Amino acid sequence: IEIPDNIRIICRQADLFDPVSLEKLAVDQSRSVAISPADDKTTIQRLLVVSNSLNGSRNTDTRVNAIISREEYILPDSIAKRHSITAIQVSKTIAKMIAHSCTQCGLSATFTEIFNFEGSEFYTIPLPGARGLRYFDLITRVGGGTPAGIFHGGRVLINPDPELVFQEEDQLLVFADTRSAPVFLPEVPVSDGALPADTRVPPEPPDSVTIIGFMEELPTVIRELPENVTDVLLAGIREDLKDEVLGMVEDLNDRRIRFFDKPIDRKNGLRELAKQSRHIAILSDPEKNDNDADMDVILKILYLKDIRLKYHLDFNISAQMSRENSHQLVSDDDNTDYIVTSDVSSLLLAQLSECPELIGVFQELLTNEG
């Protein structure tokens, strides 16, 4: 690991279920505790052990952060608040990222830029002197960063009503290089103080998406696809899962969902599927180990790229992978996006450890609502 000059790493061997051993970790002296990703049962055990240890100390400011895979392991809000726990369900987050990026090439790289700590990040900062100003006025008077919303009433409002008045206890959500970069500028004259005219973008034409494979959050992928996607073609779905998928999205009356019934493990079936597709999303098989699942995805990508080139087709590919080294085997700039589960988990955990309030920002950025 390339360790920055301002970082010191201390390694401890400790049995989390031994109170004496747990004291070596000095969790009660930490600003934030991050639980390394593991299976959900182990993660929940570690969460509760650490939070119970914190409850026995005088420190009430330490936050405990973790990544959970399955929804049934998300702790109830009352427990999470009492133990200062922030947990995010990574499988649902991955599903939303796939849904958004599969029709917009390069969007996965945008998500990575937002989640990692290179370049600009989201920060919540106090803004002395801004009390009583409209959000519209704040936009013109902040330099060194791009205002994105307000931390107001205990939650983050992204791109709020321009008439929302900034209160003394509010903080500004800003996208900037560093937390100290944004500055409150002297008053900038505006011609008449009027809000800008409504410049809505015309609706996009109807579109279609092909999804290869199955994951538990497949209904989330279908729900979070852009609103102009009216046709969804599902391939590689077992017969016993089709009714379950349809039942979970039966309220999407404006979206036609079809199944491609021919086998796609053969090149002929994949070619026929590709010829009727505009956007293709490949899901990782959760029933296989990471290496086998990634290899299946890689082979499908290679075949699809060959078909696209040979038959002069125009479709883009989005692929879910488990490990970064698998992604690097086929990474290139040819209309292919990659969502790497291990990377997203690590980046989200790091962001939550730095600023737990950002969980609301990420949730809104990854949904069609708001």
Of the listed ranges 139-143, 192-196, 199-203, 233-237, the one predicted with least confidence: 192-196
Residue 161 has pLDDT above 80, yes or no: yes
Whether the CB-CB separation of 264 and 236 falls below 8 Å is answered with: yes
Residue 11 has pLDDT above 80, yes or no: yes
- DSSP string of 232-283? EEEES--HHHHHHHHHHTTT-TTSEEEEE-S-SSSHHHHHHHHHT-SEEEE-
Instruction: Please report which confidence band the pLDDT of residue 59 belongs to, taking 50, 70 and 90 as the band edges.
Output: low
250-283 pLDDT, tens digit each: 888 888 999 998 888 777 889 999 999 999 999 9
Residue 191 has pLDDT above 60, yes or no: no
Report how far apart, in Å, the C-alpha atoms of 66 and of each of 32, 51, 323 are. Answer: 11, 12, 19
**How buried is residue 366: exposed, middle or buried, by Cβ count under 10 Å (0-12/13-18/19+)?**
middle
Distance from C-alpha of 282 to C-alpha of 98, rounded to nearest angstrom: 9
Residue 211 has pLDDT above 90, yes or no: yes
Other C-beta atoms closer than 10 Å to the C-beta of 183 total 13
Residue 30's pLDDT is: 85
Instruction: Please report which confidence band the pLDDT of residue 331 belongs to, taking 50, 70 and 90 as the band edges.
Output: low
DSSP state of 175: E
**What's the pTM value of the predicted model, to 2 decimals?**
0.82
Average pLDDT, the chain: 84
Distance from C-alpha of 180 to C-alpha of 108, rounded to nearest angstrom: 28
Residue 133 has pLDDT above 80, yes or no: yes
Of the listed ranges 19-28, 75-84, 192-201, the one predicted with least confidence: 192-201
Mean pLDDT of 308-336: 82
Cα angle value 40/117/365 (rounded, 5°): 65
